[in-house]
Chain A
Amino acid sequence: NAGVTQTPKFRILKIGQSMTLQCAQDMNHNYMYWYRQDPGMGLKLIYYSVGAGITDKGEVPNGYNVSRSTTEDFPLRLELAAPSQTSVYFCASSYGEGREQYFGPGTRLTVT
C-alpha cells in the first residue's frame, strides 16, 4: 500500500491565484482530513470528511473548499490565494472516528 499520497510536494502561488491540492489514500478509510501546519505550531484542522459525499468544517476553514466524490480522494481547493495561506498542508485518513490518523508527506505552499 502507498498509504496517503499528496501532490504537489511544493508550490508557489501569486496572490489571487487558485489551486487544488490533491490527496489520495488506498487503505479504504472512510475518514479523511486536511490540516495546515505553521512553524512552531501544532496541526490545525481545515476540513474533514466522514465518507464520500460528506464534508464538514474544521477549526480554520476560511479560504478553502473541499469535495469528496470517492472514498479514495479528498482534494483541497484554494480559490483566491492569500499570503496567510502560506503553510505546509497535510492530508490524513483514518478507518474510524477517533482512531489513529495516517498522514501524507505534505505540500509546502508559498503565496507571494
Chain B
Amino acid sequence: KAGVTQTPRYLIKTRGQQVTLSCSPISGHRSVSWYQQTPGQGLQFLFEYFSETQRNKGNFPGRFSGRQFSNSRSEMNVSTLELGDSALYLCASSLINGERETQYFGPGTRLLVL
C-alpha cells in the first residue's frame, strides 16, 4: 500500500506570493491533517479534514486555508507569504480520526520564503 505522498517536496517563494501544497493520503484513509514544523516551535497543528469538511483547526491566521476533495486528497494554501512561513509542512492521514488512531505522515514539503 502506498504511503502518504506530498507535492512538491521543495518550494521557494518570495514574500507576498501564495502557495498551494498537495497531499494524497493512504488509500482508504479519510482523515487528513496538516502540520507546520519549524526548528523553534516544533510541530504545530494547522487543520484536519474529514469527508471534505474541516473538522478541526489550529491557531493559525486566515492566510492558511485548506480543502479536501471527494477522493480524500487535500490541498493547503498559504496566501500573502511571510518570511516566518518558512517551514516544513507535513500532512498526515488516518482512517477516520487522527486524534484517536495512528497517523501516517508524508515526507513533507519544505517551503522557503525569501
Asked if A and B bind, the verdict is: no
Which residues on A are within 8 Å of B, measured CB to CB?
none
